Amino acid sequence: MAAGFFISKAVGITAIVLGVGAVATIIALSVVYDQEKNRNAQSAATTTTATTTTTTVAPNNTWNQWRLPKALVPVSYEVTLQPFLTPNNNGMYIFTGNSSVVFFCNESTDLILIHSNKLNYTMQGSFHTSLHPVDTSTVPSITNTWLETTTQYLVVQLSSQLQQGQHYRLFSIFTGELADDLAGFYRSEYVDGDTKKVVATTQMQAADARKAFPCFDEPAMKATFAVTLIHPSNLTALSNMPPNSTRQQEIDGEMWNVTEFQVTPKMSTYLLAFIVSEFESVQSQSENVLIRIWGRPTAINNDQGSYALQVTGPILKFFESYYNTSYPLPKSDQVGLPDFNAGAMENWGLVTYRENSLLFDENYSSIGNKERVVTVIGHELAHQWFGNLVTLRWWNDLWLNEGFASYVEYLGADQAEPSWNIKDLMVLNEMYTVMATDALTSSHPLSFREDEINTPAQISEVFDSIAYSKGASVLRMLSSFLSEEVFRKGLQSYLHTFAYENTVYTDLWAHLQQAAVDVALPTNVTDIMNRWTLQMGFPVVTVNTLTGDISQTHFLLNATEEKRPSDFNYTWIVPVTWITNVNRTENTYWLTRATENNELFKISSPNWLLLNLNVNGYFRVNYNQENWDLLLNQLNTERQAIPVINRAQIIEDAFNLARAKYVNVTLALNTTRFLSAETEYMPWQAAVNNLQYFQLMFDRSEVFGVMSKYIRKQVTPLFYHYGNLTDNWTNLTGGLMEQYIQITAVSTACSYGVPECQSLATDYFLKWKSNTSVNPIPSNLRSAIYCSIVATGGEEAWDFIWNKFKEATVVSEADKLRTALSCSPHPWILNRYLQYTLDPNEIRRQDATSTINSIASNVVGQPLVWDFIRGNWRTLFTQYGGGSFSFSRLISAVTQRFATEFELQELERFKADNEDIGFGSGTRALEQALERTRTNIEWVKENQGTVLAWFDAETRTS
């Protein structure tokens, strides 16, 4: 499953200049918190929710355990569902269904537990279900059934034991709500002209197949599925497999289509999918695989599915070769949904996406949208083998599933777009992003113990950046030191051995070790990788070129925080690659202890040493001051002598070393001096990303004035350089990196107040207003220009962009407009916008939390969002559910500026006030926010004066 949010590179770095009244307004609004919180608490106390009856039982009973017993194993399901796409007399959308599951009895038992959540059952006699023979002529009678709502089981007690080695069949008839909660079998809506259209669709991962039908809902409980959908004859039904037949049948006086699908291969419940809709498709054939891209008819007819269709075939062929395994199914359907919680979901043969992750419109979508489409398709198609064909046994090893797909998505995208050099972007997009979290003591290892992950909320919490981005980074490092060829060989052996089965992560290490028999390693693959997967964090490798000493320590932003113990004492087995300015041949040195010495690292001036070539290793690098000075001198005189990706690394490492007090903050700032001459994307983006932390810490202080002046000085040459190359921003062409640096030039220049850039935005706005049917802004620049328009244009501009958002028919365009609306400097406008996020008629439910996060990134909006979240936490938690993947992002976004003792106290109070409600999948993010805040407080106290003096000195003569 791909991560849920796509944040524009331009909007993500936008700074907002406050009006003089903003601070006073923020202070006045803060008193609203207690009143609003009390109101919501009172209204919640008077609301009751109907629940299915459950028995009162002792906590040690089997049905009070979150994990299924191993006595029964499913073999095959037959599932028939009939969704009703118009509301019933009570105004509710529902579906009806029946299912039977044939299961095998591993151990004699008189108890059947099967997952069920929010389903109402048609009683069969006195019981919720019925039991039937398969192998034998008799079965035990049922003595009692009930729904155990806490652990989400249908419990069936029997008069005698099921016999070991026998098969049985359990049959159920049920009704469920086709809700708009984005989970299980749910309802998505869109407007076509003036008509509301309803789609019945699914999202089963991680634990929501049980909302669609009773099932053994754990990934190791693989079975086959025969799905039948009953649907209106004018709609199309899709499932994992092609249809076997479609017939018409009269039901309650109406004619319905009954579509029976081919039986699936053996697979996990979380990969099952079915959709009933008016969607249309474009299609092609890749050898014997039918490829179809589905979406709203308007989108498909406007050619928005063509790019996805163009890249899917090459990516599928690449993975067939990469895995040395044919695609296991006869078709690959990919569907863009108007409402979808994640970024995409790898359902086997029926992949579902947010529209912005699948559909692409040449007239509206940016190069960033294009990258998003091809990488997400790469991610989901990678899962069709790694995850679907071979599946991890339990969610504690999710990191291997999602981390692997997050790594090879770049390989698949590179196959589809070979001119982009997209593989290098992994360093910025994945590694450096996740290192910020992994440098906290509240981080966690990649792999959990199986008994640590039990509840649905705990499972959802595992879907975090550590699993996706650290997993990808560590596997990239592994592939690098083994070689891509050896990595692939071991991977192919693993897939062939465990096809249609379940594994644990050590199974992959064993097969990679077999493939690596001729690779020189300091120890075996398992020993090396255990250091990276079973302990949290990563090392900083420090080398002294005067002595040749090299050492490693656990890199933490705040080393005084208490951290969890490690069996490896936080030492790693580190593959250190290196070059010098006189020896450009890449060499590798294995650092296996805390401190070592390597004579080859003794280098005298004017020669320099550079570690972690191409940033293949998941660690930071520190040097003695003399080597730092030589590297900085190289950047300032002839930067091309250092590879582009390592120019970004020098900036990234220096800034983070300064935050962790390994080096002085002035050294980090000195790494940005060469940027006035730099024209490459990766160094610039690394600088912008790291200066954003300075913005967050100082945009409410005097530092931000001189900081903005310095950034304007550095970015203005870049703005002019690409303005000239693009004929004043009218011809934004070139490769991926070239287009991205053009976007960075405009977004940075506009957000930090370069007059020529703001004039560019104003001119575009005036042209657009004069002819509202023609948008003159190049699609690549829209995120940045829209934000500048809203930031400087007042209420008129906000209303104009809001109306364009409501009119938008291309989701990538709507996303840009929706995000830009958070750029307003006016508190009353932002407060009104916040209220819109609670109304799905204004902001789609799937977009609510990302909109709130965008408002929180605005210095004016952040305190408003903080009050809003505190006052509405119960509503938000109830509406979006504790298992929502977005809660961790929400908490992180609203607290990212916290750097005072008062804000720390408020955050601690928020935690205490809401212990009764809980924080669901945001629980760990809250602990990380507390740690970040304590770290920020100390860092700002120690560095604010130094930072102010440095920026002042750099800008005094300019």
Sign of CA dihedral 725, 730, 734, 735: positive
Tell me which residue has tokens 């690409």.
722
826 SS3 class:
coil
Position 395, amino acid: W
| Residue 501 annotated to the active site | no
453-466 as b/e, with b when 16 or more CB fall inside 10 Å?
bbbbbbbbbbbbbb
Query: Where are the alpha helices (H) located in 205-339, listed in sequence order?
Result: 297-301, 306-323
Sign of CA dihedral 484, 387, 526, 445: positive
Report whether 229 contacts 81 (CB < 8 A): yes
> In whole angstroms, what is the distance from residue 733 CA to residue 328 CA?
39
- Give the residue from 353, 317, 315 showing the smallest Cα distance to 334: 353
Retrieve residue 57's tokens. Answer: 């039982």
**Edge-to-edge, what's the strand order for the sheet holding 109-115?**
109-115, 153-162, 142-148
Other CB atoms within 10 A of residue 672 CB: 24
> In whole angstroms, what is the distance from residue 75 CA to residue 84 CA?
29
Retrieve residue 669's tokens. Answer: 């700032």
**Could you write out the three-class secondary structure of 475-512?**
HHHHHHHHCHHHHHHHHHHHHHHHCCCEECHHHHHHHH
> In whole angstroms, what is the distance from residue 36 CA to residue 26 CA?
16
Pairing of strands 254-261, 224-231: antiparallel
669 SS3 class:
helix
Task: Output the CA–CA distances (angstroms, integers) from residue 660 to 439, 610, 725, in the order listed.
Answer: 9, 21, 40
> In whole angstroms, what is the distance from residue 98 CA to residue 173 CA?
4
> In whole angstroms, what is the distance from residue 40 CA to residue 376 CA?
39
Catalytic site residue from 78, 148, 218, 380: 380
Report whether 870 contacts 910 (CB < 8 A): yes
> In whole angstroms, what is the distance from residue 124 CA to residue 544 CA?
77
| DSSP secondary structure letter of residue 17 | P
Angle between helices 484-498 and 306-323 (to 10 degrees): 90
> In whole angstroms, what is the distance from residue 597 CA to residue 177 CA?
66
Residue 109 phi, psi (nearest 5): -160, 155
Q: Which residues pair with 275 in a beta bridge?
A: 238
Residues 6+ apart with CB under 8 A from 481: 519, 521, 575, 588, 616
Report whether 896 contacts 856 (CB < 8 A): yes
User: What is the maximal distance between C-alpha atoms in the chain?
Assistant: 95
Catalytically annotated residues: 380
